[in-house]
């Protein structure tokens, strides 16, 4: 009779160990599932934050490029006006000088010498 209770106690002990193992595996599985859910949620939030960041900087970059283009056009226009004013002023203040007859004669002689040499 003692032997029967001993065997019964041993079976109960094994059953308790088995149930503890099942409970441990169940808790571990729940913990892994919860971990994966939290990880996925963090990844989604991180992607959204990155998308928002990229969108904000794309908008800023677009605005900066537009401003750059406006300033470039403005600078080109003002430089063109300055060039035109300079040329007008130059033509007015410094009239074209005609070459002297002596210079023309020397150029003609130089041309003739070059032709003879060829």
Give pLDDT, residue 1: 56
Kindly report the backbone phi and psi dihedral angles of residue 99, in degrees, each rounded to the nearest multiple of 5, phi listed first.
-65, 145
| pTM of the full structure | 0.51
Tell me if residue 97 falls in helix, strand or coil. coil
Identify the residue whose tokens are 């800023």.
Answer: 60
CB count within 10 Å of CB 43 equals 10
pLDDT of residue 64 exceeding 70, the answer is yes
Percent of the chain with pLDDT over 70: 97
């Amino acid at each position: 009779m003692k032997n029967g209770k001993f065997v019964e106690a041993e079976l109960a002990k094994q059953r308790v160990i088995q149930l503890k193992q099942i409970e441990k595996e169940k808790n571990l599985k729940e913990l892994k599932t919860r971990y994966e859910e939290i990880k996925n949620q963090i990844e989604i939030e991180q992607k959204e934050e990155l998308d928002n960041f990229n969108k904000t900087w794309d908008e800023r970059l677009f605005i900066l490029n537009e401003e750059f283009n406006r300033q470039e056009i403005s600078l080109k226009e003002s430089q063109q006006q300055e060039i035109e004013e300079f040329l007008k002023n130059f033509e007015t203040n410094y009239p074209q000088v005609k070459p002297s007859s002596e210079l023309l004669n020397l150029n003609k002689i130089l041309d003739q010498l070059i032709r003879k040499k060829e």
